[in-house]
Structure 1
């Protein structure tokens, strides 16, 4: 065997070794967190904050007039919460999703195509990972070659669409349709949202694996002298504001912060700008984050601070300063077990738009 062949074989073996243990996503239906949350409510510090946040989420679910927005930033989907979010869709516990492109494309759609995330049992030099085409998210690995399959699939979807402007919601719906026809994972947030008419918005959609596929789509079409599709960020804001205007009362369940958090909160202000001064601020709000308040940000302001902008109600809100992957399973399991025997009317806000 030549030195080159030995090197290729060695790299292949090393890559297989590093990508040998898949991340297993937690199943919130398999355990009942209600006793834990009840006990934490009698404690102090973050435990009591989490118990109160869980009670607020249950209030949202019990409020027959409340539309619930699930807002996701960060990498909890890659870290093991992917099936948790999918279950909230399946069980009619959220009505609309606002998330980062990475959450929707690089993580959920990626697994919907049959790919996996892997536990990093060791973290070698990142230059070594690069030579093996392994991408790292803290202690989680992604096979870059599989991620490129995600890029090319996005490109394929774009090539088959009418060349015009689409909101991220409209394009993600096409992604869900693709998974419904060709996907390899039943428990996909994107697929289930398509099937349950739950709209998904990504205000910075191309800041993800989708960006590569869409850029290739435009470049190829430009070379051919043909029209191309594009993502309309203004339509995103308009459509999400339309939902808020028609929804009335609303609640926010937010994991992380940043652009998705600010985007959904700004719908109240946008509604006012459009002349709908009777649109209420978000009645309920929960945010789970590790972001700091001392730099004036907290990944897009604390909930109390957001009240000064006319975005949320200060009466029914809770900040939980914790790593979301460690507390969301408890909150979601508690809520699922309390709500499983109740009937909540599906909002099906995706039907508001004629794509």
Structure 2
């Protein structure tokens, strides 16, 4: 695989370098939850009403997850909060043993975290010109955040390069992402505070049930096509293995709590492990005892994956005793919840699960 092949769709000579530099001049700075103590604010919000009280209760439930010695925490991430400034937040949760497994979108893991681990950046949109103008400059837009498309194609290339280096056989997304983390840890990464790298180092498995719906998809397609042209074999992704492996973790873990940012496929994937375990004959498997979901989606039109946490109880997935929906844009409330939990310090006495070692 060559970068020339991947980049041939672009004619960089047509890009207005000065205009592009103007638009990509303000880097997104990721929030540091260790630098401020949100406990007084969260406690004060608990004496209010509306979303403030919901958030305080959600923070309390997350702290219960961390203080329960038998509870394993699954972090579920959908949406673009990593690009929006929460990337280091998620990394701190892994670094400080505040999550034990992760289910996320491919974009969160590849286009955002792995992308920055390669040394690239996300940028604040100081202005939003016509999107056709952005296209002419090879700038991709996520709401008010910019990504350099040329840098993103470097991410495609690197994913393909990692795939080329592997034995041609099926891999779960967890197994492939672990290879990505290993590649970064072996001196190739340019950012220590990478979720993918830290998850590899701390044996926290990451699952992306729709992995190819991301920048990784382009690199993996190129890997497969090149191998076919050579008449050789290629690696593939096994989504069934994803489901089986995460279900194995649920069975092993026993008591579990879900910290869910957004919804969609990652949310349902994590919740469905309870039902899958029952189908495999583990009728004594616990529903997820604790659950928090932060979302702006509405259940009425199916946007909330058509399921509140209470509705999920009817499917035998989640307990209604310790659950909280927080209807808020996650970058505005998640830093408060995470900082509160970090400074309360329940993570200091938690045993590390190291679930990734189940599959060695």
TM-score (norm 2): 0.95
2:209 corresponds to which residue?
Answer: 203
- d(CA) in 2 for partners of 1:296 and 1:144? 32
Query: Following superposition, which runs of at least 4 residues in structure 1 exceed 6 angstroms of deviation?
Result: none
Q: Does 1:263 align with 2:250?
A: no
Match of 2:25 among 15, 20, 23: 20
8 Å contact 1:72–1:255 — kept in the other structure?
yes
Correspondence for 1:289:
295
The structure 1 residue matched to 2:235, chosen from 213, 229, 233, is: 229
Change (3 A) 1:154 1:341: closer
Describe the SS at the equivalent of 2:299.
coil
What SS does structure 2 have at the residue aligned with 1:118? Answer: strand
Q: Could you tell me whether the CA contact under 8 Å between 1:134 and 1:142 is conserved in 2? A: yes
Query: What is the aligned partner in structure 2 of residue 136 from structure 1?
Result: 141
Residue of structure 1 in register with 2:152 after alignment: 147
Between the aligned partners of 2:108 and 2:162, the Cα distance in structure 1 is 19
Aligned to 2:333: 327
- Indicate conservation of the 8 Å contact 1:262/1:300, yes or no: no
Would the alpha carbon gap of residues 212 and 10 (structure 1) be closer, same or farther in structure 2, given more than 3 Å must change?
Answer: closer
Q: Does residue 1:352 correspond to 2:355, yes or no? A: no
Kept in 2, the 8 Å contact 1:28–1:329? The answer is yes
In structure 1, runs of 5+ residues without a counterpart are 1-6
Q: Aligned partners of 2:166, 2:348: CA distance in 1, in Å?
A: 40
Q: How does 1:147-226 map to 2 (within 5 A)?
A: 147-181=152-186, 182-226=188-232
1:254 and 2:254 aligned: no
The CA deviation string for residues 182-221 of structure 1, in whole angstroms up to 9 with x for no partner, is 0000000000000000000000000000000000000000
Query: Partners in 1 of 2:34 and 2:260 — Cα distance?
Result: 21
Q: Does the 8 A contact of 1:261 with 1:300 survive in 2?
A: no
1:85-124 deviations in whole A, cap 9, x for unaligned? 0000000000000000000000000000000000000000
Per-residue displacement from partner, 1:38-80 (whole Å, max 9, x unpaired)?
A: 0000000000000000000000000000000000000000000
Q: Which of 334, 344, 348 lines up with 1:342 in the alignment?
A: 348
- Determine if the alignment matches structure 1 residue 36 to structure 2 residue 41: yes
Aligned mates of 1:285, 1:341 — CA distance in 2: 18
**1:231-278 deviation digits (Å, cap 9, x = unpaired):** 000000000000000100000000000000000000000000001000
The answer for the alignment partner of 1:88 in structure 2 is 93
Displacement after TM superposition at 1:294 (Å) = 1.4
Give the alignment's TM-score, normalised by structure 1: 0.97
Give the Cα separation in 2 of the matches to 1:297 and 1:184.
37
Partner of 1:316: 322
- Aligned residue for 1:108? 113
**Is 1:47 matched up with 2:43?**
no
Q: Distance in 1 between matches of 2:331 and 2:76?
A: 14
CA RMSD of aligned residues (A): 1.2
Q: Give the CA deviation at 1:340.
A: 6.3
Q: Aligned pair 1:275/2:281, yes or no?
A: yes
Q: Deviations over 1:270-317 (max 9, x none)?
A: 000001000000000000000011114413510000000000000000
